[in-house]
Homo-oligomer: A and B are copies of this chain.
C-alpha cells in the first residue's frame, strides 16, 4: 500500500458570536495549518471559519469540495477521496460544530475506512454532547434521533413514541428542529407529553445568550415559552 493521506475531522464553532480559539483546543491550529484540501458542507462558511481561525496560507491557495445534501452520487464521493488515496491529507468541516454527526460528512468517512485511510477526530463543540452534559438527563443511555416530522399528526405520534421509549428504557431522547419551527415544536411538546416528563431546552449553546433549562412538562406549561424562536436549539426528553 502506498502512503495515503489522513482525514482530519475538524470541528468549528457552533455559535456565530464565538471566538474560534475559545471553543477549540490550540493544538487544532497546527493540524489546520498543515492542510490544503478541505471537504466541507458549505464552502462559504468553511472559508469564513478558516479565516477567523487565522489559517497561515492564503485561503485562495486552499482547495475546497462540497459534500452536502446536493451530493447525489457515490461516484462524487469517490472522486473526493482520490487525492487522499494518492497521499494528500484532508480536513472535513461541517457548517457548525463537529463534522460527521448530524451532517453528510459521515459518507466520506465510511468510504475512507473501506480504503484503509486513517480518520482522526479533533476535539470541538458538539451541541448534542454539551446539551446532554448540562441537562441532568440520563447520560448512561441516550439517543439522538435528528429532526421531528413537521405535519401535526406525524409529529405528535413521533413525540409520543419518543416519550414511550424514554419511559420503557430510561433512555434520554434528543432531537432538533429547523430554528424557525422551534416554537411550534415546543407547543406540540407541551400539548402532547405527560406532565411528569422532564424536558430540556438548550438554545444558543456556547453563545453569549446560552439558555439551558430542564423542567417537567408541568413546570414548562406554567412558565411559558422559552426564548427559542429562530435560535438553534436542542431538545431532550426523559423521565
Contact = CB atoms under 8 A, between A and B. Distances in A.
B146 A140 contact: yes
Contact of A210 (B106, B108, B120): B120
A142 to B, nearest CB: 6
Given A23-B25, A24-B123, A121-B130, A100 B139 contact: yes
A232 interface: no
B103 A139 contact: yes
A84 interface: no
A116 to B, nearest CB: 9
Contact of A23 (B19, B27, B205): B27
Interface string A197-220: 010000001100010111100000
A153 to B, nearest CB: 20
Contacts of A118: 212
Contact of A109 (B123, B126, B129, B136): B136
Given A139-B106, A215-B113, A134 B146 contact: no
Q: State the copy count for this chain.
A: 2
Nearest to A13: B123
Interface string A125-159: 11011111111111111111110000000000000
Interface string A8-28: 010000000001011111110
18 contacts: A19-B27, A21-B26, A25-B26, A98-B129, A100-B134, A102-B139, A106-B135, A108-B136, A110-B137, A119-B134, A120-B134, A121-B130, A121-B131, A123-B206, A126-B129, A128-B129, A129-B129, A143-B171
Interface string A168-190: 00010000000000000000000
Contacts of A121: 129-131, 133-134, 205, 212
B214 A113 contact: yes
Given A136-B100, A210-B120, A25 B27 contact: no
A91 interface: no
A109 B135 contact: yes
A146 B170 CA distance: 12
